[in-house]
Amino acid sequence: MAFESICDMMRSLVHSQSKGSDMLIKKPSLLTENDVTPQTDFENSRATISASRRRFLAQSSMALLAGGLAPTSLWAGNKIEGYTKSPFSTTEKPTPYEYVTTYNNFYEFGTGKSDPVVTSHLLKTKPWSVTIEGEVGKPGVYDLEDILKRQQLEERIYRLRCVEAWSMVVPWIGFSLADLIKQIEPTSKAKYVEFTTLYDPEQMPGQKRQSLKWPYVEGLRMDEAMNPLTLMATGLYGEEMPNQNGAPLRLIVPWKYGFKSIKSIVKIRLTEHMPKTSWNIAGPDEYGFYANVNPKVAHPRWSQSRERIIGAPLFTPKRDTELFNGYGEQVASLYKGMSLNRHF
């Protein structure tokens, strides 16, 4: 390494320590209880977002100097390194990268499929913090980098079925939501997990229109959240998550319609009561809380029995939709004794 860059790092280290030492002490961590940011600091954390970026840079330098594990390995370029391959992956051929990253439903950036790829550059994903609250032993505002340091990243190739009757196969990179939930220590009252997307119309221009109720909220029952298939994704195709796909952190629930897999998450809240979710508020008869993929339960206005395959040649017949999107073996037991028609 060049001598100059080491000097630069030393300078930035000294600089950050003299300027922001109080913040370093407050840094939330999933490892030590003392490090957790008190709830009351949540409001402040939004205002000091640039300060937190400085803090992150300073710490990266420190880690490098100490010869420790640098989180920069995750953010060094577009590539994500050090992930394993998951046995949960489908053997189906992934949808081409071009389509996965240009055909997106992400109404925060507009209701058209090609809106997100055009406008999502406005979203600033670094630094990013996630508020953990509700029925947990370790509430706080956590830096995403800090959360990620504790997770084992895996590549999982999952089928994705949209409620609009099309489907894709996407090689996600992420970690098991169950691991994160265990780390934040749910209380006995935690029955549901509620997720919230960033609300900032300047960064998400689609929020200037009241198409859905903002911010976007989604939720899972606790056992659904703890299912090993449920993924918190940070990337796809071996790269950091593109903004239009829900960077920097999104949920993937492969046996449910795509709208359940909330994007750009800023808050995870464990609750006793079923969360009020955005699409369910927009159309309670059309978009249920469960939203399990089911060819036998039609949307009130269209059939769900078959799906168009994204990226397939023109004369490709539609694919028969499978119950639980083909993940019944892992998840059917979650809904034993429940009417899938009533709890759609």
Asked if 314 interacts with another protein (CB under 8 A), we say yes
Q: List the interface residues with another protein, window 28-87 (CB under 8 A).
A: none
- The interface region with another protein, picked from 98-106, 173-181, 197-205, 224-232 by CB under 8 A, is 98-106
What is the Cα gyration radius of the chain?
A: 21
Q: List the interface residues with another protein, window 151-190 (CB under 8 A).
A: 163-164, 166
In the bound state with another protein, the residue whose beta carbon lies nearer, of 191 and 213, is 213
Mark residues 278-307: x for contact with another protein by CB under 8 A, - for none.
----xx--------------x--xxx-xx-
Give me 238's structure tokens: 């071996």
CB of 299 to another protein, least distance (A): 8
| Residue 54: φ, ψ to 5° | -60, -45
- Kindly state the helix (H) or strand (E) to which residue 24 belongs, with its residue range: helix 3-26
CA dihedral of residues 330, 333, 334, 336 (deg, nearest 10): 160
In the bound state with another protein, the residue whose beta carbon lies nearer, of 107 and 237, is 107
Note whether 230 and 239 are within 8 A (CB): no
Of positions 228, 311, 326, 328, contacts another protein by CB under 8 A = 311
Instruction: Report the C-alpha gap between 165 and 105 in whole angstroms.
Output: 13
- The interface region with another protein, picked from 4-12, 30-38, 120-128, 315-323 by CB under 8 A, is 315-323
Asked if 102 interacts with another protein (CB under 8 A), we say yes
- Kindly state the helix (H) or strand (E) to which residue 332 belongs, with its residue range: none
Note whether 163 and 105 are within 8 A (CB): no
In the bound state with another protein, the residue whose beta carbon lies nearer, of 62 and 282, is 282
Task: Please work out the total of residues on this chain that contact another protein, with binding judged by CB under 8 A.
Answer: 28
Q: List the interface residues with another protein, window 209-248 (CB under 8 A).
A: 211-212
Asked if 317 interacts with another protein (CB under 8 A), we say yes
| Angle (CA) 113 231 144, round 5° | 90
How far CA 237 is from CA of 9, 149, 172, 241, 242, in Å, comes to: 32, 20, 7, 9, 10
In the bound state with another protein, the residue whose beta carbon lies nearer, of 34 and 210, is 210
Of positions 5, 39, 78, 111, contacts another protein by CB under 8 A = 111
In the bound state with another protein, the residue whose beta carbon lies nearer, of 83 and 97, is 97
The neighbouring-strand residues paired with 256 are 292
How far CA 161 is from CA of 94, 151, 312, in Å, comes to: 13, 26, 15
Helices (H), 87-246: 97-100, 115-119, 144-149, 177-183, 222-226
CB atoms within 10 A of CB 342: 9
CB of 284 to another protein, least distance (A): 13
CB of 342 to another protein, least distance (A): 18
The binding site for another protein (CB under 8 A) comprises 99, 102-103, 107, 111, 113, 163-164, 166, 211-212, 282-283, 298, 301-303, 305-306, 308, 310-315, 317-318
